[in-house]
Amino acid sequence: MTILAMDQGTTSSRALVFSDDLQVQASAQQEFEQHFPRSGWVEHDPDDIWTTSAATARGAIEKAGNPRIDAIGITNQRETVLIWDRKTGQPIHRAIVWQDRRTADLCQRLKDEGCEEVVRTVTGLLLDPYFSATKIAWILDEVEGARARAEAGELAFGTVDSFLIWKLTGGQSHVTDATNASRTLLYDIRKGEWSDEMCRLFGVPRAMLPEVRDSAAEFGTTRADLFGREIPILGVAGDQQAATVGQACFAPGMMKSTYGTGCFALLNTGDQAVTSENRLLTTIAYQLDGKPVYALEGSIFIAGAVVQWLRDGLMLIREASETQALSERADDSQQIIMVPAFTGLGAPHWNPQARGAIFGLTRNTGPAEFARAALESVGFQTRDLWQAMRADWTEAGDAVLRVDGGMTASEPAMQFLADILGAPVDRPENTETTAQGAAWLAGFRAGLCPGPDEYAKAWRLDRRFEPKMDESLRQQRYSAWQRAVAAVMSV
């Protein structure tokens, strides 16, 4: 018995075939074009999202030897907005991507009007262009006739998961899961339903919205012509929530951090929707049997992207993999601090005006010191999130951080992370945690995979990084980081 996981990301679509014991049998991946019509605007062609998703699904199945697929799980880039005609399935505009900043002025106006507190209370989120609602409003206002058509029930809104399910089912299912709904600024995370108050605030007709289901549920069946037979879609979660599930962070107090282009950390707070006093997000980690499990989330805009900058911007390296060896040659007497605020600072600062800076340069500073400072910047930023989460939810206790993503392959980066946190960092054997989370949700619903407790027992450790840094040095280094952040915040 096999499960297909469709992982639709920001720069590529992937598909993986898993056995019922969640071992990867085959995978396929395709990148697609990014569109930047203006500064700060980021769009995707909906056809690219669909065609690459369908093609990689077929490709992974073929590579696996065309097994019978018993269930499909979907995980996706979150907050990205698509709106399409209910009759034709034709999108009325390109997808507006989560990175897009075109609605910054609208968000600021709503903040100035004093709306952020009620938005936070209902949705757990902040007023920021990052989330879906203001993007929906922009399309309805800018595309001729769109608002009237939406109010007449002719248009459908969806995040990427909803759009893919619509296409997979031939327009039979307009649904989403609670994790994706919780990222839209339209969902009441405590009541577990779309909020009429938020729909009025953002000018989004409720008739556009999909039905919200559990993360492991029946989302519809695929058209028979796509994969040779109808296949049930049984699991859906946004990418960071899927990684949380893939890391088996089912117990309150467990925390995972995914290091890709950026970094996303989630702390499981169980049945408590903890309101952050440190500008973190309150979100739904997953929902099973109608019961939401909540999390505190912090986002770092620049993690792996700082290594890309060393390669493409400074041209200090040719391949990202060279960073580790280069950083190991750095002069220990130089304490270089790099604040990679290339696009502002994310949580817990949320300062879009901040810009990057490097502190502590000497005549002896060279590529090795830049490489080490770049890797260490990820550890410093993670500690910012770690401290904010522990301050918001004192029940977290002595948490262990589970990590995944491309940067976790760097031994120096992971060791520094443990050192600056003063806590263990666990790297799993399986780094395909996002796709595995989606596969487990589908397999669990299908009765192919064990429940959360048994699944958690199967999680396997590759390496635990124990903190080795002296406490006084740890505080000295972190204080230097805090001074550097304060400097870029005040510019």
Sequence-distant (≥ 6) Cβ neighbours of residue 294 within 8 angstroms:
189, 268, 269, 270, 271, 272, 273, 274, 282, 283, 284, 285
Q: Are the C-beta atoms of residues 327 and 371 closer than 8 Å to each other?
A: yes
406 is known to lie in a ligand binding site? yes
Ligand-binding annotation for 304, yes or no, is yes
User: Does the annotation list 10 as a binding residue?
Assistant: yes
**Is 279 annotated to bind ligand?**
no
- What is the C-alpha to C-alpha distance for residues 239 and 111, in angstroms, rounded to an integer? 28
Please tell me whether 11 is known to bind a ligand. yes
Residue 256 forms beta bridges with which residues? 266, 402
How many other C-beta atoms are found inside a 10 Å radius of the C-beta of residue 321?
Answer: 12
296: which strand partners? 267, 282
How many CB atoms sit inside 10 A of residue 313's CB?
10
The CA R_g of the chain, rounded to the nearest whole Å, is 22
The sheet carrying 401-404 orders its strands as: 281-288, 291-300, 263-270, 255-259, 401-404, 425-428, 461-465
Q: Find where tokens 């062609």 sit.
A: 45
Q: Is 53 known as a binding-site position? A: no
Q: Is 75 annotated as a binding residue?
A: no
Burial 371-407 (b: 16+ CB within 10 A, else e): bbbbbbbbbbbbbbbbebbbebbeebeebebbbbbbb
Report whether 455 belongs to an annotated binding site: no
Report whether 257 belongs to an annotated binding site. no
Residues 6 or more apart whose Cβ sits within 8 Å of residue 490? none
Distance CA 375, CA 408 (A): 11
Q: Has 239 been labeled as part of a binding site?
A: yes
Burial of 298 (0-12, 13-18, 19+ CB in 10 A): buried
Q: Is 382 annotated as a binding residue?
A: no
Q: Are 118 and 126 in contact (CB under 8 A)?
A: no
DSSP 289-335: TTEEEEEEEEEES-SHHHHHIIIIIS---SSTTHHHHHHTTS-TT--
Distances (CA, A) of 39 to 11, 99, 102, 318: 18, 12, 9, 28
Q: In terms of Cα–Cα distance, which of 7, 13, 3, 21 is closest to 64?
A: 3
Could you identify the residue written with the tokens 């006084």? Answer: 472
Which parts are annotated binding residues for ADP? 10, 14, 261, 304, 406
Annotated binding-site members: 10-12, 14, 78-79, 130, 239-240, 261, 304, 308, 406
Binding site as annotated, residues for glycerol: 78-79, 130, 239-240
Q: Which residues are annotated as a binding site for sn-glycerol 3-phosphate?
A: 10, 78-79, 130, 239
The binding site for ATP consists of: 10-12, 261, 304, 308, 406
